[in-house]
């Protein structure tokens, strides 16, 4: 998982460097790319939700839903209790 954080930080730095370079060189394309990458990371930061952990089940923040097939449990899923999901 460490490579994921490293690549995310490097992508963020590359986007901001392209934005700054575009500002100094008056390159509109680099400004748009850099601003787009920055906006993407802002949206991802607002929308990010942590994955549930075992301690969350213990504290009652999540529930375990079992999936049955022919009366036998075949799978289970941990679901947040307070997260609203619209399935329309």
Q: What is the pLDDT of residues 19-34, one digit of tens each?
A: 777 777 777 777 787 7
pLDDT at 52 over 70: yes
Q: State the pLDDT at residue 88.
A: 44
CB burial of residue 12 (10 Å; 0-12, 13-18, 19+) = middle
pLDDT at 39 over 50: yes
d(CA 5, CA 46): 17
Cα dihedral 42/63/60/84 (nearest 10): 40
d(CA 85, CA 88): 9
Q: State the pLDDT at residue 2.
A: 67
pTM over 0.75: no
How large a percentage of the chain has pLDDT more than 90? 3
Cα dihedral 57/58/61/66 (nearest 10): 30
Q: State the pLDDT at residue 21.
A: 77
Structural contact between residues 66 and 76, judged by C-beta atoms closer than 8 angstroms: yes
């Amino acid at each position: 998982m460490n490579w994921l954080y490293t690549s995310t930080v490097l992508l963020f730095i590359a986007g901001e460097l392209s934005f700054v370079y575009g500002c100094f060189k008056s390159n509109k394309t680099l400004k748009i790319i850099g601003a787009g990458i920055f906006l993407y990371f802002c949206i991802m930061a607002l929308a990010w939700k942590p994955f549930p952990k075992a301690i969350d089940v213990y504290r009652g923040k999540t529930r375990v839903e079992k999936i049955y097939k022919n009366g036998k449990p075949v799978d289970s899923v941990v679901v947040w209790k307070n997260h609203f999901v619209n399935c329309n």
